[in-house]
Amino acid sequence: MLRLFAAIEVPEEIGEPLLARQRGIEGARWRPLEALHITLRFIGDVAEPVADDLDLELDAISQRPFGVELERVGTFGEGADVHAVWAGVAESEPLRQLAKSCEAAARRAKLPPETRVYKPHVTLAYLKRSNPAEVAAWVQANNLLHSPVFAVDRFGLYSSWRTAEGSRYRLEREYRLG
């Protein structure tokens, strides 16, 4: 079984400033530069033949390159239940279209539909029992985040492994736009 997701890699010049914001929440598991991405479609655990079918479907996606930018920060969960902090992605119709195309590819590969509403973001840290006041202070201190526009001319199919230090990702296949 492979644990997979389709995503856009955050380029180094956009990710480096995000790393500078990774402080101020005790116990946060901050994500390294190589783990920063915008998920297009979480796939989950699949058998290799299904992964091969998905690869063929993702490879058939046809879309022009586009630009995206990061703006604001936020959390998943509230109060004592907050479990992640993230950088948001500015509204982008081409990004939403690419995510929809990945969803359609997954369905053609006979995967179940995604039931969560798509909220494009870059996870900066995972939290476990973090102090809500620290998290709120971090959000307030970083909420004016705004990156330059960066070009999206490809996306990838990544595998994920859970480790004691958090998830590790490997690019399995890359798909060019254009």
Neighbouring-strand partners of residue 3:
45
Catalytic site includes residue 37: yes
Which region holds residue 73: left if phi is over 0, alpha if psi is between -120 and 50, else beta? beta
Catalytic site includes residue 83: no
- The residue annotated as part of the active site, out of 37, 43, 98, 105, is 37
**Tokens 């705004």 map to which residue?**
146
- The residue annotated as part of the active site, out of 106, 121, 124, 130, is 121
**Whole-angstrom Cα distance, residue 177 to residue 56?**
15
For the four alpha carbons of 153, 118, 44 and 128, in that order, the dihedral sign comes to positive
Secondary structure class of 33 (helix, strand, coil)? helix
Catalytic positions, written as ranges: 37, 121
